[in-house]
Structure 1
Amino acid sequence: MPWSNEHIQWLHDTGEVITISSGEGVPVYEFAYDVTNETVMSHWARHFRNHYCADNVIEILKPEGTTKTDYLLEIKFPHKTKSPGPSIRAGDFAEILVADYLMFLHNYYVPRTRYDRKIIGNESSKGSDVLGFKHNNRNHPEQDELIIYEVKARLSENSAQNTLQTAIGDSSKDEARLAESLNGVKQRLYDQKDDDGMAIISRFQKNVDQPYKTIFGAAAVLTDSSCCVETLAEASTKEHSSPTKLDMIVIRGPVLMSLVHGLYERAANEA
């Protein structure tokens, strides 16, 4: 699948670092999107849509007599208004954005297997949120990297919850469910006939015989009005299972929930 990366140009490192209560510094990125850029928005909508359903199979999968737009909005995508659809939309958006951040800005291989086989559009996918892999030096497998990111979104306006702390807490669960998450990705890559991707996953299923570097991640994706630095600074990694191996990031942007709904609408209407 040829994934689009033009929208990632809107993600900028602000230079701001939040020092949390356990002493670590967490960089803050701004997602300064431009909805008036029709070309980038259209390419991004296609990129987004193909996480749920490849363009070349929508016509095959949709019920006879149903438009592509209605199929996507009513069956494949989380619903705009029916609970918990809006929160699922927010979570999926945040996960895909972090996957793009790891893939396009940090050169990880990030399989896109999380959404297209969901039975119920209005439910979250199981397993780790985002998995990224670096497998570049076959002569030194100990230098290979696996990054496991837990992503939490707070796109509603004026929320005071500490979304970063929630991501840190849930990240501790990722080590225990790693084998299941890797197996799930590998099964979907098999369905997609992606032999190269399966080979990469197979390598990372052999940590005992061929150890590699494991990094955990916690991301908070927040609309500006819910990005309270003082609240985020109260977060702590002290209860995390591997605090010295934990990567963290905060991504903020203006009125993100409106952007999310607009992106889903465009993705459906342009199918």
Structure 2
Amino acid sequence: MTETPEHIKWLVDTGDRLKTADGKEVEVWEFRHENDEAVLSAWARHFRNHYCLDAEIDFLRCRCSRQNYLTNIKFPCETSKLGPGIRAGDFGEILVSDYLQWILGYWVPRVRWASKVVRDESPKGSDVIGFRFHEKAGEASTKDVLFVFESKTKFSASKINRLQDAINDSAKDHIRIDESLNFIKQKFFEKNEIEQAQKIERFQSPVDMPYKETYGAAAIISNECFNAGELASSDSRKISNSAKSKKFFPHPNGDNLVLLVIKGASMMALVHELYRRAADEA
């Protein structure tokens, strides 16, 4: 595991806990970001490399500048109809990936965002997937863990409960996990990272080689949008297939469901600044 980035120190467990309508505990963390040039620059580099590795950008950018290539081709657009929402969503997924890797200690492949064909769209599949190996490399254990997180953001005023949205999407992860694992493995194979691809393979035969499964739903929310009562109304027993559906079913992995809220000040402004810095400092 690589050295923990400095921006992870801004992610702080407040100690506050909410209870959902079905009695599940929700951890409340706060992202206490600061105007620290060194930390922001390192974070921007880490963030940029999710979309395009610094070692590859000069080949991919052709005749345009690095800044223009990232701003106009790779990063979601700041001013288009869909771009700001996609920026917020990508930011939330990457922050949850960081949480899963450096706070909880999982191996989290970062192949999702660089594989976009359309920059103002969200990638398909499960949002964040992490792996924990109990034994040394190459030896499968029933104590190995697959952790699948769904992430939603709320950085502007809305009546929508984004934690409930994350729970609803998490209920679908058991269906799409095979495709998501295959996608990650394929990306490693395409880069000739065979050892990494083989790590994924260990989790593709749960019947032959059982392992533990944990699911998570995360809401990343600006302080001005944080509503404890709204979040506490979330209920993993009442998952609907659509906003208009009146048919409900319980989360299929409700017993292994982790609920997380990360709040922070002026999060959308932070998102735009991070993308700007990531492009300008490339």
Report Cα offsets for 1:123-176 as digits up to 9, x if no partner: 1101100000001315661100000001011112x3332100000011010000
- Give me the whole-angstrom Cα distance separating, in 1, the residues matched to 2:195 and 2:110: 14
Matches of 2:38 and 2:191 in 1, distance apart?
28
Q: How does 1:72-91 map to 2 (within 5 A)?
A: 72-91=70-89
Aligned to 2:275: 264
Q: Which amino acid in 2 is paired with 1:11? A: L
**C-alpha distance in 1, partners of 2:62/2:194?**
30
The residue aligned with 2:246 is none
Name the structure 2 match of 1:172.
Answer: 171
SS at match of 1:240: coil
CA distance in 1, matches of 2:94, 2:191: 19
Cα distance, 1:193 vs structure 2: 2.4
Shift of 1:227: 1.1
Is the 2:4–2:102 contact (alpha carbons within 8 Å) kept by the matching residues of 1? no
Runs of 4+ in 1 over 4 A off after TM superposition: 1-4
**Aligned Cα root-mean-square deviation (Å):** 1.4
For the 8 Å contact 2:140–2:202, the answer to whether it is kept is no
- Letter of the structure 2 residue corresponding to residue 124 of structure 1: S
Partner in structure 2 of residue 68 of structure 1: 66
- The residue identity in structure 2 corresponding to 1:171 is S
Matched, 1:182 2:193: no
Contact preservation (8 Å) 2:222, 2:266: yes
5+ unaligned residues in a row in structure 2: which ranges?
238-249
Partner of 2:17 in structure 1? 17
Counterpart in the other structure of 1:151: 151
Q: Distance in 1 between matches of 2:277 and 2:36?
A: 13
Partner Cα separation in structure 1 for residue 141 and residue 280 of structure 2: 45
What is the Cα deviation at residue 2 of structure 1? 5.9
Name the structure 2 match of 1:57: 56
Match for 1:102 among 100, 103, 112?
Answer: 100
Aligned CA distance change for structure 1 residues 21 and 165 (closer, same or farther; 3 Å)? same
| TM-score (ref. length: structure 1) | 0.96
SS in 1 for 2:89: helix
Choose between structure 1 and 2: higher helix proportion. 1
Deviations along 1:8-48, whole A, 9 cap, x unmatched? 100000010011100011010000001x2111100000000
Residue by residue over 1:200-255, the C-alpha shift from the partner in whole angstroms, topping out at 9 and shown as x without a partner, is 10000010101000011100000111110010110001121111010110000001
TM score, norm. by length of structure 2: 0.92
Tell me the secondary structure at the aligned position of residue 7 of structure 2: helix
CA distance 1:3–1:45, change in 2 (3 Å): farther
**Matched letter for residue 18 of structure 1:** L
Q: SS of the counterpart of 2:175?
A: coil
Q: Which amino acid aligns with 2:196?
A: G
CA distance, structure 1, for counterparts of residue 99 and residue 32 of structure 2: 14
Q: Distance in 2 between matches of 1:55 and 1:140?
A: 34
- Give the gaps of 5 or more residues in structure 1: none
Distance 1:181 1:81 in 2: 30
| Partner-residue secondary structure (3-state), 2:163 | helix
The reply on whether 1:220 has 2:219 as its aligned counterpart is: yes
Amino acid at match of 2:26: V
Match of 1:30 in 2: 30
Show the counterpart of 2:38.
39
- The count of residues paired between Structure 1 and Structure 2 equals 268
2-side partners of 1:62 and 1:149: how far apart?
32
Q: Does structure 2 conserve the Cα–Cα contact (< 8 Å) formed by 1:51 and 1:115?
A: yes
Q: Name the amino acid aligned to 2:154.
A: R
Contact 2:18–2:232 at 8 Å: present in 1 too? yes
